[in-house]
Amino acid sequence: MKPVAILGGGPAGATCAEGLAAAGMKVVVLDEKMAWEKPCGGGITHKAYRKYPYLLENDTPKQHITNTVLMAPKAGDAQLAMEHPLLIYSRYELNDMLLRRASAAGAQLEKTRVLEIERGDGDWRIRTKGGTIEASFCVVATGARNPLRQVGTEFTAEDTMCALGYYVEGTRERIDIQFLPQFEGYIWVFPRCGHLSVGICGKGVATPVLRQWLEEWMTKNGYQWQGQRFYAHLIPSLRSQALLENRVAGEGWLAVGDAAGLVDPITGEGLYYAIRSGDLASQILLNDAQAPGAKAEAYRQLLKADFLDDLYIASRLAHRFYTGNFVFGQVTDRMVQFVRRSETFRHLVRDLFSGAQPYTGLRERVWGNFRRSGWELVFPQEQAVPQEP
């Protein structure tokens, strides 16, 4: 029996490989780098480790962050205390842990670059830098820069966010998120083990301009960027129409994680969706009740039932969230003000960030809480943001 080939060994590919190998399936993971320090915040939400407790319960070094400060141009700062910490991993460490789990389950790991895939007689021929491999099925997990044109999401510039930043020296106990005027994106300061990641991601602005904005912001806020390690990558951020037309599966293949565009278009959270889609893809491949020809449609349906509808709502909200107006001000300004003044609203945003509040049902909760948070807005109990040294 030819193996299932997992093209890419990031969180999505490694998770899928683990699920298949643990059930006794022959699996080979092909990755050109294996574990590597991908430019990424490495933030794992409560939603992710509640579903996959091994993301929390392990010896791999990580930060547990419970404080976030939100900043918007006309609103100042607001502190958001999380009920459950956000875990922050180095991506080398996270990928390594997930690949070791796949290997321990029985998956074969091969460090090589996939150059081309070709379908014939119901199987795949995969040309790699090291030779040719035959496989019964392909799981496409090659990330947002998927070089294989015939499989996975067909990205356009409107469906990706550019992300870039610097690793700078320093430690701290909180995350900072800075919104900018009329910009679909944000600046972040993420405390990682031993250093900070300070970056910007967004849509519709040229990369050199984003870099300039970030460097100006860093200078103004006392972060040294000259001589620090620079990084840049892409984050999928599909518009609602692109999500409807998204190419996530076809004859003999399923795409997972970034290669399938499965990222929250508002927050840029992709690790949960990578791991979840890798898991769901393995469930589809292991289900003997489905004929091979029915797997693509079954996978689409499973994604939809699980989280795609939620990402669709987020894709409809994203542009308005960042650039729209609410009560005579920009939505992000208002959000920061409301978080500062209203405990009810603060809990809502906290739950949204941790994944406890899906986008489905958000509107109902906002309106349901409106009277209470309206009272708190009129008679606020302002909270002070503690100053970091």
CB of 214 closer than 8 Å to CB of 186: no
Query: Which residue number, 141 or 210, has a Cβ lying nearer to ligand FAD?
Result: 141
Name the DSSP class of 59: S
Q: Which tokens hold the place of 10?
A: 């990031």
Query: Which residue number, 167 or 321, has a Cβ lying nearer to ligand FAD?
Result: 167
- CB count within 10 Å of CB 112 equals 15
Query: Which residue number, 278 or 337, has a Cβ lying nearer to ligand FAD?
Result: 278
* φ, ψ for residue 126, nearest 5 deg: -115, 115
Query: Which residue number, 102 or 317, has a Cβ lying nearer to ligand FAD?
Result: 102
Handedness of CA 56, 57, 61, 66 (dihedral sign): positive
Element (H, E) at 177: strand 174-178
CB of 236 closer than 8 Å to CB of 155: yes
Residue 151 CB, nearest approach to ligand FAD (Å)? 12
288 Rama class: left (phi>0) / alpha (psi -120 to 50) / beta: alpha
Residue nearest to ligand FAD (CB): 270
Query: Which residue number, 269 or 333, has a Cβ lying nearer to ligand FAD?
Result: 269
Residues forming the site for ligand FAD (CB under 6 A) = 8-13, 30-33, 38-43, 113-114, 141-143, 147, 163, 199, 233, 235, 257-259, 263, 268-272, 274
Report the DSSP pairing between strands 174-178 and 62-72: parallel
212 Rama class: left (phi>0) / alpha (psi -120 to 50) / beta: alpha
- Separation of alpha carbons 137 and 27, rounded Å: 10
CB of 13 closer than 8 Å to CB of 29: yes
- CB count within 10 Å of CB 66 equals 14
- Separation of alpha carbons 92 and 80, rounded Å: 28
Residue 10 CB, nearest approach to ligand FAD (Å)? 2
Query: Which residue number, 41 or 265, has a Cβ lying nearer to ligand FAD?
Result: 41
Query: Which residue number, 144 or 377, has a Cβ lying nearer to ligand FAD?
Result: 144
Residue 1 CB, nearest approach to ligand FAD (Å)? 23
- Separation of alpha carbons 218 and 175, rounded Å: 15
Residue 30 CB, nearest approach to ligand FAD (Å)? 5
Query: Which residue number, 9 or 191, has a Cβ lying nearer to ligand FAD?
Result: 9
Element (H, E) at 116: strand 114-120
Residue 264 CB, nearest approach to ligand FAD (Å)? 8
* φ, ψ for residue 224, nearest 5 deg: -75, 125
Residue 244 CB, nearest approach to ligand FAD (Å)? 20
Residue 89 CB, nearest approach to ligand FAD (Å)? 9
Residue 26 CB, nearest approach to ligand FAD (Å)? 19
Residue 263 CB, nearest approach to ligand FAD (Å)? 5
Residue 91 CB, nearest approach to ligand FAD (Å)? 7
CA proximity to 170, closest of 187, 198, 194, 188? 194
Query: Which residue number, 8 or 85, has a Cβ lying nearer to ligand FAD?
Result: 8
Query: Which residue number, 274 or 296, has a Cβ lying nearer to ligand FAD?
Result: 274
Q: What is the DSSP string of 204-235?
A: SS-HHHHHHHHHHHHHHTT---TTSEEEEEEE
